Structure 1
Amino acid sequence: MRVVIAGGHGKIALLLERHLTDRGDTAVGLIRNPDQADALRAAGATPIVCDLEHTDVGTLAGHLADADAVIFAAGAGPGSGTARKDTVDRAAAALLADAATRAGVHRYLLVSSMGVDDPPTAGTDDVWAAYLRAKRAAEDDLRARDLAWTVLRPGRLTDDAPTGQVTLTRHAGSGAISRADVAHVLAALLDTPHTAGATLELVGGSTPITDAVQHPQG
């Protein structure tokens, strides 16, 4: 399987690239900064320099040639303002979907966030509120498309070691999850076509990942 990952230098993406490579898949990471290329190669991935905020759908579609799936794991990141929450977390996700459609890539996984269903409460930090709105808009855009999409909403992310056991459900409430376990769940979702059309929340739990992905709760 050839998988193209937008946001290829992110913590989850690097873990996913290593996991995919170790199991015999081909991982391709889209990155904005060419200085990040060596880190992707070290994870076993092929880096492609492509700034999702400053490219066009045709160029991006060319990078998706022969891909079996795309994963949007990009984000404006800490320190970015409200404007980039929109241009990356929403607009770049939509651009990737446009490019996937043009390139004939039907499978699309979107890494979103828990908490996007509820409007930000009064007093919420402006940047965090913009992030939640952007993620929700990206989800809504994807649901309207003729793609085999799955939305994954992890809980609070940690750098803990993977446990291999999770709770994957329509509504998880709250909780934490290691980035490594998120990466392994994303890989398992690629192998599970019947999860297309599902929006799933992910936190730590007691169900082995393979079983959790085969039979999400809720």
Structure 2
Amino acid sequence: MQVVIAGAHGKIGLRLVALLAGRGDVVTGVVRSPAHTADLERAGATPVVLDLESATAGELAAAVTGADAVVFSAGAGPGSGTSRKDTVDRAAAVLLADAARLAGVRRYLLISSTGVDEPLAPDADEVWAAYVAAKKAAEEEITSRDDLDWTVLRPGRLTDDPGTGRVLLAPPPVPRADVTRDDTAAVLAALLDAPGTAGKVLELREGDQDVHEAVAAIV
């Protein structure tokens, strides 16, 4: 399988690169900074340096052409302002969808966020509010498209604890809880092997079910 990961230098992205490359998949990682290419190469991906906030769909399509699937793992990250929540967490996700359409790639995995369906707390920080709004808008734009076989994954609060290989994977609503980045990457890899999960929005938490069994149960 050939997979393109947008935002491949993030903590989940690098884990997913290593998992996919380790099982023999051909992985391309799209990153903004040339400083990140060595990390991607060590993890097993071919890096493509492209700024998702300024690139055109055609430029990104050149990296996506020939792929079997794309994964949107990018995010503006801590310390970014409200405007970049929109330009990265929403607009770049849509850009990847446009590039996939141009390249004839249908399979699309979107990493979103839990809580996007819930009302914000009255004292919510404006940056958090912008992040939630951007994630929800990205979901709405991606799930409205009939040119994609999309799956939306909403992990709980992410931790760097070692993965357990056991999760809770279910349609919303699901109570809030943590999940490791290791297990999130493992679920993403399993979803790529499960085309029957297309058209589904899924919440991910730590749990008691084996990753592959959890994905199979969704199918």
Match of 2:150 in 1: 149
Q: Which digits, 9 at most, give the CA deviation of each residue in 1:107-131, with x for residues without a partner?
A: 0000000000023221100000100
Match of 1:103 in 2: 103
Q: How does 1:47-126 map to 2 (within 5 A)?
A: 47-126=47-126
Q: Which digits, 9 at most, give the CA deviation of each residue in 1:20-58, with x for residues without a partner?
A: 011110111100000000000110111100100011011
Match of 1:199 in 2: 201
Cα distance in 1, alignment partners of residues 2 and 119 from structure 2: 37
Cα distance in 2, alignment partners of residues 60 and 142 from structure 1: 17
Is 2:197 the partner of 1:211? no
Structure 2 gaps of 5+ residues are none
Match of 1:27 in 2: 27
Cα distance in 2, alignment partners of residues 96 and 86 from structure 1: 14
- Identity of aligned pairs, percent? 58
**1:65 to partner: Cα distance:** 1.0
* Length-normalised TM-score, structure 1: 0.98
**Secondary structure in 2 matching 1:215:** helix
**1:6 to partner: Cα distance:** 0.5
Q: Which digits, 9 at most, give the CA deviation of each residue in 1:80-133, with x for residues without a partner?
A: 000000000000000100110110000000000000002322110000010000
Match of 1:132 in 2: 132
Q: 1:190 aligns with which of 192, 201, 206?
A: 192
Structure 2 letter corresponding to 1:165? R
Cα distance in 2, alignment partners of residues 76 and 26 from structure 1: 26
Cα distance in 2, alignment partners of residues 97 and 119 from structure 1: 27
* Length-normalised TM-score, structure 2: 0.98
Which aligned segments of 4 or more residues in structure 1 are displaced greater than 3 angstroms? none
Structure 2 letter corresponding to 1:118? E
Match of 2:43 in 1: 43
Cα distance in 2, alignment partners of residues 11 and 172 from structure 1: 24
Match of 1:15 in 2: 15
Structure 1 letter corresponding to 2:197? T
Cα distance in 2, alignment partners of residues 175 and 157 from structure 1: 9
Match of 1:168 in 2: 169
Structure 1 gaps of 5+ residues are none
